[in-house]
Amino acid sequence: MRDAEILIAGAGAIGSVAGGMLHAAGHRVTLLGRRAHLDAIARDGLRITGLLGARTIRGLALADNPAALDRRFDVILCTVKPYDTAAIADAIQDRLADSGVIVSLQNGLGNIEALAARFGLRRVLGGRVIFGAEIERPGAVHVTVFADPVAIGPAPSLHGALCAELEARAASIASAIASAGIATVACADIMPVIWSKLLYNVALNPLGALFELSYGELADDPALRAIMDDVIAEAFAVARKLAIALPFADDREYRDVFYGKLVPATRDHRPTMLYDLRNRGRTDIDALNGKIVELAEASGLSAPVNRVLVRQIHAAERKAAASGSRK
């Protein structure tokens, strides 16, 4: 990894933090992102503040268009929204080295499969990010919460015999990110880890976006807490039907961790889905609660509470787009 060329495909808040910290640790990093953000970085450096410390990072390679990328990369960290996964994969398909690997550090389900369709399973790893950050202004990112280490690994249900090879790649990448100051671990099966975060996201993100509440405020409201309980129960039933090896005996045990550890650690955080509604008019609901509904139907189950939340967020997206808030 020391000599690797690294591309951050989607230099929003999370991507900027990961890329900036890796560059500060001596790695060669290119950020691919929006022009206003990159112009500010080119002028003043990338400013990172918050829970990982304060620093200004200069000397990053920058590109606001995939066509401007002038090299092939050994490692690509994919941090775009799930609805942009296929498009970014198409745009950078020839920018990944033959022996390189692309890591999905995204919310929701379906990202690994979408990347594998373009790059092949041998060159794709999954990941889970459960720290929060926000772009305070172009060129400046603030880390607001860090609940658990980043996790990277293969998915045996998808990768099969490739897992041993990919576990070694995951360990190398995880070690590099951890050495850069972002706690990161490698795992043998990323799917239970992704699903554990999915349970967290499907409960908190849509309700937080719809009611404009923090995670702690959601948990404090008895009616909203009851809805979250139902959302989690439906999602857990789907995970069990699909034989996902979640580290919880049942949804009640997960809720004990959810309300006892995860929500308190992120109590004042508001979901990025709320930011997306206000600023983009589009969210990642289809990769979260929408996937629960889709998988439930395919498995002979039902997920009516998740379905209602999907419909409500879609309605909020239409309203936001019509009001001109989409940017």
Q: Residue 257 pLDDT more than 60?
A: yes
- Out of 81, 197, 291, 319, the active site residue is 197
Rounded to the nearest 5 degrees, what angle is found at the Cα of 25, between the Cα atoms of 112 and 56?
Answer: 100
- Hey, which CATH number is domain 5-189, 3.30.365.10, 3.40.50.1000, 3.40.50.1100, 3.40.50.720? 3.40.50.720
pLDDT at 273: 95
Q: Which helix (H) or strand (E) holds 212?
A: none
| 265-307 tens-digit pLDDT | 889 989 989 999 998 899 999 999 999 999 999 999 999 999 9
197 catalytic? Reply is yes
Task: Give the whole-angstrom CA distance, residue 305 versus residue 323.
Answer: 27
Q: What percent of the chain has pLDDT over 70?
A: 99
Amino acid occupying residue 39 = D
| 43-77 tens-digit pLDDT | 999 999 999 999 999 999 999 999 999 999 999 99
User: Which residues are bridge partners to 204 per DSSP?
Assistant: none
Q: What share of the chain is helix, strand, coil (3-state, %, to 5)?
A: 55, 20, 25
In the predicted model, what is the mean pLDDT of residues 92-113? Answer: 97
Q: Which helix (H) or strand (E) holds 22?
A: helix 13-24
Task: Give the whole-angstrom CA distance, residue 179 versus residue 47.
Answer: 19
Domain residue spans of the chain: 5-189, 192-322
pTM value? 0.93
pLDDT at 132: 87
User: Can you read off the two tokens belonging to residue 250?
Assistant: 């049942």
Q: Residue 326 pLDDT more than 50?
A: no
Confidence band, pLDDT 50/70/90 cuts, at residue 21 = very high
Question: 276-281, long-range: CB within 8 Å, 24+ apart, which pairs?
Answer: 276/81, 276/209, 277/209, 277/313, 277/316, 277/317, 277/320, 277/325, 278/320, 278/325, 279/325, 279/326, 279/327, 280/320, 280/326, 280/327, 281/317, 281/320, 281/321, 281/325, 281/326, 281/327
Rounded to the nearest 5 degrees, what angle is found at the Cα of 171, between the Cα atoms of 157 and 78?
Answer: 70
In the predicted model, what is the mean pLDDT of residues 3-17? Answer: 96
Looking up tokens 């990072």 gives 57
Fold of 192-322: N-(1-d-carboxylethyl)-l-norvaline Dehydrogenase; domain 2 (1.10.1040)
Average pLDDT of the chain is 96
Confidence band, pLDDT 50/70/90 cuts, at residue 37 = very high
| 146-175 tens-digit pLDDT | 888 999 999 999 999 999 999 999 999 999
pLDDT at 180: 97
Confidence band, pLDDT 50/70/90 cuts, at residue 327 = very low
| 230-246 tens-digit pLDDT | 999 999 999 999 999 99
pLDDT at 323: 83
